[in-house]
Amino acid sequence: MVAGASTHSSVESGSQVKQKRRVSLYGVGIVSPGAANLREFLALVQEGKPALTPIAELQGAFLTGQPKFDFEVYRDWIGQRHAPNKFSQLSDKGLSHVRMAVGTSIDALESNPGLEQTLKKIDPRVYVCYGSGFGDIQAYFTGHDEYKTAEQAWHKFWAHPERCKSLAQHINGTRADAEAPVSPTTFEIDSPERAAAWEAWNSYWCKKSDGLQEYLREFNEMESITIGADVANDKLNVIRAKAKAKKALQDKWKNPLPPWEAVNANMLWNLPNAPAAQVSMLHGIHGVSFASIGACATFGLILRQAVDGIRSGDYDAAIVGTTDLPPPPELVAGFNAAKVLAAGCDVGVPLCNLRGTHVAGGACTWILAADDVMEKLGQKSLGVEIMGVGLSSDAEHIITPSMEGPKLCIRDAFTQAGISPKDVHTWDMHATGTPGDWSEFKLIDNLPASTVITARKGIFGHGMSTCGGWELTAQLFSTRKNGKSYTLTGSGISSDRVHPSIKDVGRNIATDKAVTLDAPNGLVCGKLSMGIGGISSCVLTKIQ
């Protein structure tokens, strides 16, 4: 950097360099509440009716967005390209968020004829990135429950006086332990205190069990069997020897399942990078595969990484997306505790009653690429250019967005795109259906009055990471081109339901009516997403 040059001018210079390479959208795959693919998704958006359902585990007091997804649909596609057991491996080891990422990646390739073969031609200059709001937390919940259940049985078994001399002596009074927990029998039968006391009691005496120490000595001897110089043959021999010793140990002690054997390995196969890893393996992509996470701004974050990587010349294409598990009751309860969730069975519609949002699951995959490379290979885009993606953080509050933070990312996006706010024809809000909807209008006060404002979380809910992908896809692909004009599908919001404070803002809000806009040079679209933790993303695109 030249001495005395400003940071701002440096950012603009970097943006101009990146802008030399145009990046467009070449494939789209969608799974959402009420929609198993892009066609069904666009029909859902066109209808504008909520695809939300009560969650039974919470007595139907909350609506959630349960994705419409059947992995079986992809069996033949996968079977035609991989070994017969590939589909079953993905079904058994990949949990919901992984399977949905895989499914939407296939749909994205299928959405544009020839795209699969084109990407193979430019591999490894293709990379894969997926984000997720929580991963598949059910795998962690299940693993925790499996472990705790086994641990309680394990403690109880080894704390028995027959296997714990210290407890036998404590009970008969020959050698009392002054540090021992209070006896559970002092508490009322069936009381929570008695149950907790039993856990503490068994845990304490298990540690003093001489039987357990003998078991562990024999266990360690079994595990000390090692592979010799002939790795190929010795590995199988060691597995057999350990299995035989393990059976003998179990026959001797008749012990319950050890806690370390109780947890399913699926907890490991569904780490945050698992969706990207499985997609890269499925499609034979050798560019780097990884995960990026930015809460509700994740889709914009991943787009920015893809655009930067392609414009810099490091890559020519990227398969990117987000995937969120079907909301379990624990997640809904957590959102409720954060005071952002709408309770009851009435839909919390954005810009209307401001009651709150609804947690939803699903996935979205986009395939981006450099036009210069794809044109040489004869591959057509889907008619959408990614003009600019801005990112910023609030550096203030974990949930409530600031004013300056999101405005920074908006300005960043416009600088990258080389356009001004007056060029924007339509803008999609983050709009969670909370009081924040009203303050969000202050972030776009420099957009012209003619800009059509949309907000669609009342249709498919709030995917923790996927909301931005759904909303961008709805914004771009529910729009019909008619010569030099474009017809925008409404937001599914009745004009008579718009909140009075929102009406007072005086914005051109898309309700349940289609809107036609003249855009002879292409329709410029803006999209803002604001995530927990303060990260925001702004995506500017052009439909041509």
Instruction: Kindly report, residue by residue over 11-35, the tens digit of the pLDDT.
Output: 343 344 444 799 999 999 999 999 9
Residue 477 CA to residue 472 CA, distance in Å, equals 8
Q: Region 238-257: what's the mean pLDDT? A: 92
Q: Count, in order, helices (H) and strands (E) of the chain.
A: 21, 18
pLDDT at 6 over 50: no
Question: Which residues, including other chains, have CB under 8 Å from residue 521's CB and lie 6 or more apart?
Answer: none
pLDDT at 203 over 90: yes
pLDDT at residue 231 in the model: 72
If one compares 370 and 222, the residue with the highest pLDDT of the two is 370
- Provide the 3-class DSSP secondary structure of residue 14: helix
pLDDT at 463 over 70: yes
Residue 235 Cα distances to 218, 225, 228, 246, 289, angstroms: 21, 10, 8, 16, 31
Q: Region 298-302: what's the mean pLDDT? A: 98
pLDDT band of 8, cuts 50, 70, 90: very low
pLDDT band of 250, cuts 50, 70, 90: very high
For 392-406, 412-426, 437-451, which range has the lowest pLDDT when averaged over its residues? Answer: 392-406
pLDDT at 427 over 70: yes
Instruction: Kindly report, residue by residue over 494-539, the tens digit of the pLDDT.
Output: 999 999 999 999 999 999 999 999 999 999 999 999 999 899 999 9
Question: What residue segments make up the domains of the chain, in order of their start?
Answer: 21-136+270-543, 140-261
The rounded mean pLDDT for the chain is 93
Residue 131 CA to residue 275 CA, distance in Å, equals 8
Tokens of 307: 């655009």
* Burial group, residue 205, by CB count within 10 angstroms (0-12, 13-18, 19+): buried
Q: Could you tell me the end-to-end alpha-carbon distance of the chain, in angstroms, rounded to an integer?
A: 37
pLDDT at residue 259 in the model: 96
pLDDT at 448 over 70: yes
Instruction: Kindly report, residue by residue over 37-69, the tens digit of the pLDDT.
Output: 999 999 999 999 999 999 999 999 999 999 999
pLDDT at residue 14 in the model: 39
Among residues 49, 14, 51, the alpha carbon closest in space to that of 32 is found at: 51
Tokens of 511: 């309700």
Task: Give the burial string for 238-259 (b: 16+ CB within 10 Å, else e).
Answer: eeeeeeebeeeeeeebebbeeb
pLDDT at 4 over 60: no
**pTM of the entire structure?**
0.91
pLDDT at residue 78 in the model: 98
Percent of the chain topping pLDDT 90: 84
pLDDT at residue 10 in the model: 31
Residue 369 Cα distances to 199, 374, 378, 415, 543, angstroms: 57, 7, 13, 21, 16
In Å, how far from its chain's centre is CA 151? 31
State which CATH number among 3.30.470.20, 3.90.940.20, 3.50.50.60, 3.40.47.10 fits the domain covering 21-136+270-543: 3.40.47.10
Residue 450 CA to residue 408 CA, distance in Å, equals 23
Percent of the chain topping pLDDT 70: 97
Residue 502 CA to residue 523 CA, distance in Å, equals 25
pLDDT at 98 over 70: yes
pLDDT at 3 over 50: no
pLDDT at residue 320 in the model: 98
pLDDT at 449 over 90: yes
